Protein backbone atom coordinates (compact mmCIF):
# COMPACT_ATOMS: atom_id res chain seq x y z
CA UNK A 1 0.00 0.00 0.00
CA UNK A 2 1.35 3.41 -0.99
CA UNK A 3 1.69 5.75 1.98
CA UNK A 4 4.04 8.36 0.52
CA UNK A 5 4.68 10.10 -2.80
CA UNK A 6 7.79 11.83 -4.12
CA UNK A 7 6.92 14.45 -6.72
CA UNK A 8 9.25 15.97 -9.26
CA UNK A 9 8.60 19.72 -9.24
CA UNK A 10 9.47 21.12 -12.68
CA UNK A 11 7.40 19.33 -15.29
CA UNK A 12 4.83 17.78 -12.95
CA UNK A 13 3.56 20.53 -10.64
CA UNK A 14 4.68 23.48 -12.75
CA UNK A 15 6.44 24.10 -16.05
CA UNK A 16 8.03 27.28 -17.35
CA UNK A 17 6.38 29.29 -14.61
CA UNK A 18 2.84 27.96 -15.07
CA UNK A 19 0.91 25.66 -12.74
CA UNK A 20 -0.53 22.51 -14.26
CA UNK A 21 -4.33 22.22 -13.96
CA UNK A 22 -5.27 20.19 -10.91
CA UNK A 23 -1.79 20.20 -9.37
CA UNK A 24 -2.68 22.21 -6.26
CA UNK A 25 -5.88 20.24 -5.77
CA UNK A 26 -4.11 16.89 -6.18
CA UNK A 27 -1.58 17.75 -3.47
CA UNK A 28 -4.38 18.83 -1.14
CA UNK A 29 -6.35 15.61 -1.73
CA UNK A 30 -3.30 13.45 -1.02
CA UNK A 31 -2.70 15.37 2.22
CA UNK A 32 -6.31 14.77 3.25
CA UNK A 33 -5.72 11.07 2.69
CA UNK A 34 -2.72 11.19 5.05
CA UNK A 35 -0.02 10.72 2.42
CA UNK A 36 3.55 11.73 3.30
CA UNK A 37 4.82 13.94 0.48
CA UNK A 38 8.23 15.06 -0.73
CA UNK A 39 9.11 17.37 -3.61
CA UNK A 40 12.41 16.92 -5.41
CA UNK A 41 14.15 18.90 -8.12
CA UNK A 42 17.52 18.79 -9.83
CA UNK A 43 17.58 22.58 -9.69
CA UNK A 44 20.75 23.77 -8.00
CA UNK A 45 19.93 27.47 -8.28
CA UNK A 46 17.11 27.14 -5.73
CA UNK A 47 17.53 26.43 -2.03
CA UNK A 48 14.83 24.30 -0.44
CA UNK A 49 13.55 27.52 1.20
CA UNK A 50 13.32 29.51 -2.04
CA UNK A 51 11.78 26.55 -3.88
CA UNK A 52 9.11 26.12 -1.21
CA UNK A 53 8.36 29.83 -1.19
CA UNK A 54 7.88 29.91 -4.96
CA UNK A 55 5.48 26.99 -4.77
CA UNK A 56 3.60 28.58 -1.86
CA UNK A 57 3.11 31.75 -3.92
CA UNK A 58 1.52 29.60 -6.62
CA UNK A 59 -0.98 28.19 -4.12
CA UNK A 60 0.70 24.95 -3.02
CA UNK A 61 0.60 23.99 0.67
CA UNK A 62 4.23 22.93 0.83
CA UNK A 63 6.86 23.63 3.52
CA UNK A 64 10.62 23.73 3.01
CA UNK A 65 11.17 20.56 5.08
CA UNK A 66 9.34 18.64 2.35
CA UNK A 67 11.54 20.00 -0.45
CA UNK A 68 14.83 18.50 -1.63
CA UNK A 69 16.76 20.47 -4.23
CA UNK A 70 19.99 19.20 -5.73
CA UNK A 71 21.87 21.97 -3.93
CA UNK A 72 20.37 21.00 -0.56
CA UNK A 73 21.06 17.31 -1.14
CA UNK A 74 24.66 18.10 -2.07
CA UNK A 75 25.10 20.13 1.11
CA UNK A 76 23.79 17.20 3.16
CA UNK A 77 26.24 14.88 1.42
CA UNK A 78 29.11 17.27 2.10
CA UNK A 79 28.22 17.40 5.80
CA UNK A 80 28.49 13.62 5.89
CA UNK A 81 31.99 13.60 4.37
CA UNK A 82 33.02 16.61 6.51
CA UNK A 83 35.40 18.33 4.07
CA UNK A 84 38.32 20.44 5.17
CA UNK A 85 37.29 23.01 2.57
CA UNK A 86 35.37 23.31 -0.70
CA UNK A 87 34.99 25.52 -3.74
CA UNK A 88 31.29 25.67 -4.65
CA UNK A 89 30.61 26.75 -8.22
CA UNK A 90 27.02 27.89 -7.87
CA UNK A 91 24.81 30.95 -8.35
CA UNK A 92 21.67 32.34 -6.72
CA UNK A 93 19.70 31.09 -3.71
CA UNK A 94 21.09 27.57 -3.83
CA UNK A 95 24.44 28.84 -2.56
CA UNK A 96 22.80 29.54 0.83
CA UNK A 97 22.76 25.78 1.47
CA UNK A 98 26.57 25.86 1.75
CA UNK A 99 27.03 28.74 4.18
CA UNK A 100 28.27 26.46 6.99
CA UNK A 101 31.30 25.21 5.05
CA UNK A 102 34.85 26.50 4.86
CA UNK A 103 35.10 28.01 1.37
CA UNK A 104 38.46 27.98 -0.38
CA UNK A 105 38.86 28.47 -4.13
CA UNK A 106 42.67 28.17 -4.04
CA UNK A 107 43.30 24.85 -2.30
CA UNK A 108 39.96 23.10 -1.66
CA UNK A 109 39.53 19.47 -0.71
CA UNK A 110 36.38 19.37 -2.89
CA UNK A 111 35.40 21.13 -6.11
CA UNK A 112 31.60 21.19 -6.12
CA UNK A 113 29.91 21.92 -9.45
CA UNK A 114 26.42 23.39 -9.58
CA UNK A 115 24.88 25.87 -12.00
CA UNK A 116 27.48 28.63 -12.24
CA UNK A 117 25.76 30.24 -15.25
CA UNK A 118 27.93 32.85 -17.00
CA UNK A 119 30.80 32.26 -14.59
CA UNK A 120 31.61 28.98 -16.37
CA UNK A 121 34.43 30.73 -18.23
CA UNK A 122 37.61 29.41 -19.80
CA UNK A 123 39.52 30.79 -16.81
CA UNK A 124 37.18 29.21 -14.24
CA UNK A 125 37.14 25.78 -15.88
CA UNK A 126 40.92 25.71 -16.20
CA UNK A 127 41.29 26.69 -12.56
CA UNK A 128 38.96 23.85 -11.53
CA UNK A 129 40.88 21.43 -13.77
CA UNK A 130 44.22 22.32 -12.17
CA UNK A 131 42.79 21.88 -8.67
CA UNK A 132 41.51 18.42 -9.60
CA UNK A 133 44.86 17.48 -11.12
CA UNK A 134 46.47 18.47 -7.83
CA UNK A 135 44.20 16.07 -5.94
CA UNK A 136 40.94 17.86 -5.16
CA UNK A 137 37.82 15.64 -5.22
CA UNK A 138 34.93 16.36 -7.60
CA UNK A 139 31.21 16.52 -6.87
CA UNK A 140 28.53 17.20 -9.51
CA UNK A 141 25.27 18.41 -7.99
CA UNK A 142 23.38 16.87 -10.91
CA UNK A 143 24.38 14.46 -13.69
CA UNK A 144 21.90 15.93 -16.19
CA UNK A 145 23.57 17.15 -19.38
CA UNK A 146 20.81 19.30 -20.88
CA UNK A 147 17.96 21.38 -19.47
CA UNK A 148 14.94 22.52 -21.47
CA UNK A 149 12.71 23.64 -18.59
CA UNK A 150 13.07 27.32 -19.53
CA UNK A 151 11.86 26.77 -23.08
CA UNK A 152 15.12 26.28 -24.98
CA UNK A 153 18.04 23.88 -24.61
CA UNK A 154 20.83 24.79 -22.18
CA UNK A 155 23.90 22.96 -20.96
CA UNK A 156 23.08 21.58 -17.53
CA UNK A 157 25.31 20.95 -14.51
CA UNK A 158 26.31 17.46 -15.59
CA UNK A 159 27.86 18.72 -18.83
CA UNK A 160 30.28 20.99 -16.99
CA UNK A 161 31.07 18.39 -14.34
CA UNK A 162 31.71 15.71 -16.94
CA UNK A 163 34.10 17.96 -18.88
CA UNK A 164 36.16 18.29 -15.70
CA UNK A 165 35.79 14.59 -14.88
CA UNK A 166 37.03 13.45 -18.28
CA UNK A 167 39.85 15.99 -18.49
CA UNK A 168 41.19 15.40 -14.98
CA UNK A 169 40.28 11.69 -14.73
CA UNK A 170 38.91 12.43 -11.28
CA UNK A 171 36.00 10.17 -10.39
CA UNK A 172 33.05 12.48 -9.74
CA UNK A 173 30.26 11.83 -7.25
CA UNK A 174 26.85 12.86 -8.63
CA UNK A 175 24.05 13.74 -6.25
CA UNK A 176 20.88 14.64 -8.19
CA UNK A 177 18.45 12.36 -10.02
CA UNK A 178 18.81 9.64 -11.25
CA UNK A 179 21.62 9.04 -8.75
CA UNK A 180 20.34 7.15 -5.70
CA UNK A 181 21.45 9.71 -3.11
CA UNK A 182 18.59 12.18 -3.56
CA UNK A 183 15.99 9.40 -3.48
CA UNK A 184 17.55 7.80 -0.42
CA UNK A 185 17.55 11.19 1.31
CA UNK A 186 13.84 11.58 0.58
CA UNK A 187 13.05 8.04 1.74
CA UNK A 188 14.99 8.52 4.96
CA UNK A 189 13.05 11.68 5.78
CA UNK A 190 9.72 10.00 5.03
CA UNK A 191 10.45 7.06 7.35
CA UNK A 192 8.64 4.66 5.05
CA UNK A 193 9.63 1.37 3.45
CA UNK A 194 10.44 1.43 -0.26
CA UNK A 195 7.34 -0.57 -1.13
CA UNK A 196 5.21 2.16 0.47
CA UNK A 197 6.51 4.99 -1.74
CA UNK A 198 5.89 6.03 -5.36
CA UNK A 199 7.78 8.56 -7.51
CA UNK A 200 5.89 10.85 -9.90
CA UNK A 201 7.90 12.47 -12.68
CA UNK A 202 7.93 13.63 -16.30
CA UNK A 203 11.45 12.50 -17.27
CA UNK A 204 12.20 8.84 -17.89
CA UNK A 205 15.97 9.37 -17.71
CA UNK A 206 15.94 10.96 -14.24
CA UNK A 207 12.66 10.42 -12.39
CA UNK A 208 11.73 6.94 -13.58
CA UNK A 209 15.29 5.60 -13.84
CA UNK A 210 16.08 7.05 -10.41
CA UNK A 211 13.03 5.43 -8.85
CA UNK A 212 14.01 2.08 -10.33
CA UNK A 213 17.58 2.54 -9.10
CA UNK A 214 16.34 2.55 -5.50
CA UNK A 215 13.47 0.07 -5.94
CA UNK A 216 10.36 2.25 -5.62
CA UNK A 217 7.24 2.40 -7.81
CA UNK A 218 7.23 4.97 -10.60
CA UNK A 219 4.48 6.98 -12.27
CA UNK A 220 5.29 8.80 -15.51
CA UNK A 221 3.25 11.89 -16.37
CA UNK A 222 3.10 12.97 -20.01
CA UNK A 223 3.82 16.60 -19.20
CA UNK A 224 6.88 18.86 -18.87
CA UNK A 225 9.84 17.62 -20.89
CA UNK A 226 8.27 14.24 -21.71
CA UNK A 227 8.39 13.06 -25.32
CA UNK A 228 6.98 9.80 -26.68
CA UNK A 229 10.46 8.67 -27.80
CA UNK A 230 11.44 8.56 -24.10
CA UNK A 231 9.45 5.33 -23.90
CA UNK A 232 11.86 3.70 -26.38
CA UNK A 233 14.70 3.81 -23.84
CA UNK A 234 13.86 0.44 -22.32
CA UNK A 235 13.09 2.08 -18.96
CA UNK A 236 9.47 1.23 -18.21
CA UNK A 237 7.46 3.05 -15.52
CA UNK A 238 4.93 1.14 -13.45
CA UNK A 239 2.17 3.53 -14.52
CA UNK A 240 1.72 6.21 -17.18
CA UNK A 241 -0.85 9.01 -17.12
CA UNK A 242 -1.57 12.21 -19.05
CA UNK A 243 -1.97 14.58 -16.12
CA UNK A 244 -1.21 14.99 -12.43
CA UNK A 245 -4.98 15.00 -11.96
CA UNK A 246 -4.93 11.21 -12.53
CA UNK A 247 -2.47 10.47 -9.73
CA UNK A 248 -5.09 10.02 -7.01
CA UNK A 249 -6.94 7.38 -9.06
CA UNK A 250 -3.70 5.50 -9.78
CA UNK A 251 -2.72 5.42 -6.12
CA UNK A 252 -6.13 4.07 -5.17
For residue 29, what pLDDT is reported? Answer: 93
63: confidence class by pLDDT, cuts 50, 70, 90 = very high
225 or 210, higher pLDDT = 210
* DSSP assigned state of 152: S
Q: Nearest-CA neighbor of 180 among 192, 191, 194, 170?
A: 194
39 three-class SS: strand
Q: Is the pLDDT of residue 150 over 80?
A: no
- Cβ proximity of 88 and 39 under 8 Å: no
251 or 30, higher pLDDT = 30
For residue 82, what pLDDT is reported? Answer: 92
Cα separation of 77 and 52, whole Å? 21
Write the CB contacts of 234 (distance below 8 Å, at least 6 apart in sequence). Answer: none
45: confidence class by pLDDT, cuts 50, 70, 90 = very high
Q: Nearest-CA neighbor of 180 among 139, 215, 205?
A: 215
Q: Which domains does the chain have, with CATH numbers?
A: 4-42+179-251 (3.40.50.1000), 82-174 (3.40.50.1000)
Write the CB contacts of 252 (distance below 8 Å, at least 6 apart in sequence). Answer: none
What is the reported pTM?
0.91
Say if strands 146-147 and 154-155 run parallel, antiparallel, or are unpaired. antiparallel
For residue 231, what pLDDT is reported? Answer: 80
Write the CB contacts of 69 (distance below 8 Å, at least 6 apart in sequence). Answer: 40, 41, 42, 43, 44, 46, 47, 48, 51, 94, 97
Q: Is the pLDDT of residue 149 over 80?
A: no
Q: Where are the alpha helices (DSSP H) in the chain?
A: 23-32, 48-57, 70-81, 122-133, 157-168, 180-190, 209-214, 247-251
- Cβ proximity of 70 and 52 under 8 Å: no
Q: Mean pLDDT throughout 164-185?
A: 94
- Cβ proximity of 138 and 157 under 8 Å: no
Amino acid sequence: MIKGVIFDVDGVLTFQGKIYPGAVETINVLREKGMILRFVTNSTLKSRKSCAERLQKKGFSIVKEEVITASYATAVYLKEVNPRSCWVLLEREGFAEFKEFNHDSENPEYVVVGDYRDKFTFKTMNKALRLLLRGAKLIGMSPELIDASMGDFELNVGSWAKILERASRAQAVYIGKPSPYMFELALKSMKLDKNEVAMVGDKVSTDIQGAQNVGIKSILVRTGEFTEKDLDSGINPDFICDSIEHIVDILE
